[in-house]
Amino acid sequence: MSGRRPRLGLAAVVLLAALATGGLWLLAAPATLTAADLPDRDADPERGRIVFHASGCNSCHAAPGAEDGDRLVLAGGLALETPFGTFRAPNISPDPVHGIGGWSDLEFANAVARGVAPDGGHYYPAFPYVSYQRMTLGDVLDLKAFMDTLPAASGDAPGHDLPLPLRLRRGIGLWKLLAMDEKPFAPPPGADERLARGAYLVNGPGHCGECHTPRTLLGAPDAGRAFSGGPAPEGDGIVPNITPHEDGIGDWTVGDIEAALKTGLLPGFETFGGAMASVQENMALLSEEDREAIAVYLLSLPPKPSWWKD
């Protein structure tokens, strides 16, 4: 009898480990939209053009160094250096082999709003679907309609350079349980139309918090320090505080912010640098009303000290 107990104990441990592993595997399963979730209307590529520039898709997905018209060739390749490894933006042009030209509307919506690839795998959150989950599905499909009109680019972008544990994408599903709630956008309480529009643009397609908010140790946005700045996605430098604190934009006006997004000139006659230069170029293509809405929302945020001082 005494000789069997260790074997029974080991079997119990193996069984419990198997059950725990199976439970985690199920918890990490991708959560996806269905065809019934999509709006029953024709997508509008002109509206999608506005969503495209608000989202700044070409800021990451145009080939590094691309200029002028080539900024609409979404061949990918930009490297994002992070504490978790190097992520590289993929080809998202309409090429049916190397890009997303063969994707259905539902596959595109699941990629953008749920971070799930057509093959059912999780995308890494370097793709800002934590913010894009707030987008209306109408805007998502309008975005696809516009992107379908852009030039196709052949060839695959280089792959990610990540440590072995992070190459197992299933585990990202557990991260999503912590970082995503899959809730649609909700305007701030009592917001008028302009403030609500600004909140949507900043928190949804604009995904401003992805760079302007610091991350937790697990890489999720730190909601308690939202918009107080963060490390630069290029791997060198910092992204500034954009709350109305003295560390941030506390002495800016709505007009200052709107003009900066339109022209790239800051109130002190400096210019945007780094990745923000490309973001500003896209913001300049929005309407003056949308830029003002963004400004009104940013100035309504709670003032917070810069993340590196907190």
Per-residue pLDDT of the chain (310 residues; tens, 9 = 90+): 444 455 556 555 555 554 445 555 578 889 999 999 999 999 999 999 999 999 999 999 999 888 887 899 999 999 988 888 999 999 999 999 999 999 999 999 999 999 999 999 999 999 999 999 999 999 999 999 999 999 999 999 999 999 988 888 999 999 999 999 999 999 999 999 999 999 999 999 999 999 999 999 888 999 999 999 998 876 678 899 999 999 999 999 999 999 999 999 999 889 998 889 999 999 999 999 999 999 999 999 999 999 888 6
DSSP 255-295: HHHHHHHHHSB-TTS-B--THHHHHHHHHTTS-HHHHHHHH
Q: Which residues contact 254 (CB under 8 A, 6 or more apart)?
A: 292, 295, 296, 299
Domain 185-310, architecture per CATH: Orthogonal Bundle (1.10)
Distance of CA 98 to the CA centre of its chain: 21
Helix (H, G, I), strand (E, B) or coil at 81: strand
Whole-number Å distance between alpha carbons of 130 and 52? 17
- pTM of the predicted structure, to 2 decimals: 0.90
Both structure tokens of 45? 């590529």
| Number of helices and strands in the chain (H, E) | 12, 4
Q: How far does the chain reach from its first CA to its final CA, in angstroms?
A: 61
Both structure tokens of 119? 């093959």
Whole-number Å distance between alpha carbons of 156 and 288? 37
Q: Measuring CA to CA, which residue among 137, 125, 127, 132 is closest to residue 178? A: 125
